[in-house]
Amino acid sequence: ELKVEQNPLFLSMQEGKNYTIYCNYSTTSDRLYWYRQDPGKSLESLFVLLSNGAVKQEGRLMASLDTKARLSTLHITAAVHDLSATYFCAVRIGGATNKLIFGTGTLLAVQP
Amino acid sequence: DAGITQSPRYKITETGRQVTLMCHQTWSHSYMFWYRQDLGHGLRLIYYSAAADITDKGEVPDGYVVSRSKTENFPLTLESATRSQTSVYFCASSELGGSGELFFGEGSRLTVL
């Protein structure tokens, strides 16, 4: 059974600080996804990581994938309040069926 | 560009009643999915569909039924609702091939009393 674990589950950080969210998964997968969810809202796609060593950056967020270690990271640089949200990683299983198994999410609260 | 829409957005029902959550997408995506979101569990896959008339179970299918007679619609039915099915339900779709990225609806919040 595939398990996708995120840590930390809750992260309170100050504006301007850097931090990393970790996503570990228990079985081989070729693709990993990061999503953002604001309270009471739907999920918004942030990054799609398609291969080992992939790195994607958008603004203050950078995601990377190490398929050998079964680890992805989401790095936050100089956090701002607008980044406050819940972040999910998801791992694709079943090949081209596009089934995604999600982690439990990391609730990020950026304090002024 | 309507994308993917869910209805109803909010529903309160009683234990034992049948409830159907609707999902409609305008992209002609081949794949469609139903997830439920519960605190502490993230999102869990209930059912998915690779095309019209092709469906399969996900992680937590018990108590749910799906159908897909048309590519654009993927309704989820709770045949006899239970309190443990109180949750937020998200429908999603993705295209054949491509990156495998899922696009989500706005969610349906279901409360079973």
User: Under an 8 A CB cutoff, do A98 and B100 touch?
Assistant: yes
CB B94 within 8 A of CB B27: no
- What is the structure's pLDDT at B1? 59
pLDDT of residue B112: 98
Q: What beta strand segments (E) does chain A contain? A: 4-7, 10-14, 19-25, 32-37, 43-49, 55-58, 61-66, 71-76, 85-93, 99-102, 106-111
> How is residue A97 written in tokens?
């069926």
Looking at the complex, report in whole angstroms how far the Cα of residue B10 sits from the nearest Cα belonging to chain A.
Answer: 12
Cβ-nearest to A97 among B40, B43, B50: B50
- Whether chain B has a CB inside 8 Å of the CB on A36: the answer is no
Given pLDDT bands bounded at 50, 70 and 90, which one contains residue B106? very high
- CB–CB of A104 and B41 under 8 A? yes
Q: Give the closest residue to A30 by CA, choosing from A93, A89, A90.
A: A93
Q: Please compute the mean of the pLDDT values over residues B44-61 and round it to a whole number.
A: 95
pLDDT of residue A71: 96
Residue B83: pLDDT above 90?
yes
Q: How many interface pairs between A and B have CB atoms less than 8 angstroms apart?
A: 58
Predicted local confidence at residue B2, as pLDDT: 67
The mean pLDDT of B64-83, rounded to a whole number, is 97
Cα distance between residue A75 and residue A83, in whole Å: 12
Per-residue pLDDT of chain A (112 residues; tens, 9 = 90+): 789 999 999 999 999 999 999 999 998 888 999 999 999 999 999 999 998 889 999 999 999 999 999 999 999 999 999 999 999 999 998 777 889 999 999 999 999 8
Contacts of B96 in chain A (CB under 8 A): 96
Is B90–A97 a contact, with Cβ atoms under 8 angstroms apart?
Answer: no
Query: CA B43 to CA B32: how far, in whole Å?
Result: 15
Please give the pLDDT value at position B96.
Answer: 86
User: What is the C-alpha separation between A13 and A8, in angstroms, rounded?
Assistant: 12
Q: What is the mean pLDDT of chain B?
A: 95
Q: Cβ–Cβ of A43/B100 closer than 8 Å? A: no
pLDDT in tens, B3-25: 999 999 999 999 999 999 999 99
Chain-chain contact of B94 with A103 (C-beta, under 8 angstroms): no
Which of A42, A99, A104 has the CB atom closest to B58's CB atom? A99
Minimal C-alpha gap between A109 and chain B (Å): 17
Q: Are A78 and A58 in contact (CB under 8 A)?
A: no
The whole-number average pLDDT for the span B60-64 is 97
Chain A partners of B101 at a C-beta cutoff of 8 Å? Answer: 33, 45, 48
Chain B touched by A48 (CB under 8 Å): yes
Question: How high is the pLDDT of residue B41?
Answer: 85
